[in-house]
Amino acid sequence: MAIPATVLATVLATTSEIIRDILDEDSLEITEQTQRSALESWDSMAQIQIICAIEKDFAIKFSLDELEQLNQMDSVGDVVSLVSVKTSA
Amino acid sequence: MTLVELLESIKTDLYGQYAQAADLDPVVQDYVGFVRQVMKGRSYNVYSADMTLWLEEVETRYDIPTLKLLRKLTLIELMTISVEVVLQHDMDKHLPKSAIEAVNNWFQGLCRRIQETGDHEFDNNDLFHKDLAIAALNMWPSNFICHYEPRPLPRRSIFSCGIRQIVSAAQVLISLGNRSQSMYEVHVEDRRLTPHFLQDGWRDFYLELSERIESEPGIGGIFGKAWFWDASMKEHSPRMSYLRDLPEAGGAVFFPTRGVLGSDHIALDNPRRRRLFEAGQYTPTETIMIWPRAKLLDWAYGERVKNQ
């Protein structure tokens, strides 16, 4: 099932806000192409904080497998896709 | 369905699903015997020479799917004994409700994983060794970031790093007296990093463990070994400083150990620490945290009052 573009855009906007807030970089421009590995401050601690904030803001709960997937993902676009699928379910 | 019924039903399913399950029965019993008798009182990942030899022989005798089945059957058998014997016996000793709940929650979760397992589960790795120790209740699960196992304080490690450390280590040992032989060693559970590695998960863990310790007057306190308790983390990774600040504010003491951690250590997965390491400005150092009983209980009391 294709996720509507409006949902993807909303999830991207909220996720970007979370990432900026946790990395404490207000001016950071985040797109779907933004890569975690390119941001030094996005370390494993930040990753845990970001995932927890996403779960809270979107009222979702990731399974262990999904957490594993999230930890393997490098691009914000992949994170947004997974969150969009979960919020649309 | 009660936990005992759930365990019985999973066992029946596994025997129905796999023809070789019945043939594995004697091996399962040997495995259970090793874990319950030989591993009791040992660190969860330090196997005896006998058990290592036996495991090597078993690993060469069977193919991977059969080994995974063997591990699942062993876990089921250990949990069944733990629920029927160990837990009942320990409940009679007035264990706090949180400790019993934590075991029930972990066992339910492990049952779920056995039923729904993917290919990556039940390999012979550190996570399985933890599952094995917990199923036998050689190690106890909590509801939060760490598990804990009864261990003596490792005197040699805390005396290994300089004269100043020897004096403070001696003070800790004197204050603990004989109870330094009966401590709980804490181990981080990697499957619970999100969200419990954050500050709340650690605080809740220490609070839960304080309830357990309060019910056991013979336990001297808790200790653990980790790179993230190193004092230099405050400077290099300030976002992780709560890991040390929290127990330190409650009276825990820290001793760096002399052991050298290699360049492939997990602490160096972080790009900033890797850069500092390569510039010679940071070396991952394993540090022992000791939180003596009285201090831990005082801290927990203060936290509870604060939260009321």
pLDDT digits (tens, 9 = 90+) for B117-127: 665 688 889 99
Is B195 in contact with A62 (Cβ distance < 8 A)?
Answer: no
Q: How confident is the model at residue A3 (pLDDT cuts 50, 70, 90)?
A: confident
C-alpha span between B45 and B130 (Å, rounded):
8
CB-based contacts of B276-283 (< 8 A; 24+ apart in sequence): B276/B236, B282/B232, B282/B236
Q: What is the pLDDT of residue A50?
A: 95
What share of chain B in percent tops pLDDT 90?
A: 72
Closest residue, chain A, to B191 (C-alpha): A64
Q: How confident is the model at residue B155 (pLDDT cuts 50, 70, 90)?
A: confident
Residue A29 lies in a domain: no
Cβ neighbours of A79 in B, within 8 Å: none
Between strands B287-292 and B221-226, the pairing is antiparallel
Using CB atoms, pick whichever of B191, B198, B270 lies closest to residue A52: B198
Q: How close A48 comes to chain B (CA, Å)?
A: 5
pLDDT score recorded for residue B119: 59
For the segment B176-189, the average pLDDT, to the nearest whole number, is: 94
Q: Residue A18 sits in which domain range?
A: 5-24+38-88
Q: Residues B241-253: what's their mean pLDDT?
A: 96
Name the average pLDDT for chain B: 91
DSSP for chain A reads -PPPHHHHHHHHHHHHHHHHHHHT-TT----TT-BGGG-TT--HHHHHHHHHHHHHHHT----HHHHHHHHH--BHHHHHHHHHHHHH-
Cβ pair B67, B110 in contact under 8 A: no
- ∠ CA B20-B22-B28, nearest 5°, is 100
List pLDDT tens digits, range B187-208: 999 888 988 999 999 999 999 9
Compare all CA atoms of chain B with the CA of A36 and give the residue at the minimum distance: B271
Comparing CA positions, the residue from A6, A27, A7 lying closest to residue A82 is A7
**pLDDT score of B178:** 92
Domain-located, residue A83: yes
Chain A nearest CA to B195, separation (Å): 6
Best to test chain B binding among A64, A65, A69 (most B CBs inside 10 Å) = A64
C-alpha span between A19 and B94 (Å, rounded): 46
In a domain, A10, yes or no: yes
DSSP three-state, residue B299:
helix
Contact by Cβ (8 Å): B298, B251 = yes
Distance CA(B184)–CA(B138), nearest Å, equals 11
Distance separating alpha carbons of residues A9 and A32, to the nearest angstrom: 10
Q: Is pLDDT above 70 for B91?
A: no
Q: How far apart are CA B175 and CA B222, in angstroms?
A: 14
Assess whether pLDDT exceeds 80 at residue A8.
yes
In a domain? residue A30: no
Shortest CA distance to A15 belongs to which of A40, A44, A36?
A36
| Phi, psi values for residue A73, rounded to 5° | -70, 140
Closest residue in A to B228 (Cα) is A45
For B64, the token pair is: 């991977």
Closest residue in B to A51 (Cα) is B194
Q: Is A73 within the bounds of a domain? A: yes
Cα(B267)–Cα(B265) distance, integer angstroms? 5
CB contact burial A25-50 (16+ within 10 A = b; e otherwise): eeeeebeeebebeebeebbebbbbbb
Residues of B in contact with A62 (CB under 8 A): 194
What's the pLDDT score for residue B135? Answer: 97
In degrees rounded to 5, what are phi and psi of residue B303? -65, -40
B133 pLDDT above the threshold of 70: yes
Predicted local distance difference test score (pLDDT) of residue B85: 77
CA distance B249 to B227: 19
| Arithmetic mean of pLDDT, B266-279 | 90
Residue A71 falls inside a structural domain? yes
Q: What is the pLDDT of residue A88?
A: 84
CATH of the domain at A10: 1.10.1200
Give the mean model confidence (pLDDT) for residues B12-21: 91
- Supply the pLDDT for residue B227: 94
Q: Which residues pair with B146 in a beta bridge?
A: B188
Compute the nearest-CA separation of B276 from chain A (Å).
13
Q: Is the pLDDT score of B98 beyond 90?
A: yes
The pLDDT score that the predictor gives to residue A1 is: 66
Q: pLDDT tens, B39-84?
A: 998 999 999 999 999 999 999 999 999 999 999 999 999 999 999 8
Count the domains in chain A.
1
Q: What is the DSSP letter of B81?
A: H
| Residue B31: closest CA among B50, B14, B16 | B50
- Name every residue in B having a CB less than 8 A away from some CB of A: 118, 191, 193-195, 197-198, 237, 239-240, 269-272
A-chain CB neighbours of B197 within 8 Å are 45, 48
User: Which H or E run contains B147?
Assistant: strand B146-151
ipTM score for this prediction = 0.75
**Residue A75 domain flag:** yes
A62 in any annotated domain: yes
Q: Mean pLDDT, to the nearest integer, of A58-78?
A: 92
pLDDT category, A65, cuts 50, 70, 90?
Answer: confident
User: Which H or E run contains B56?
Assistant: helix B49-61
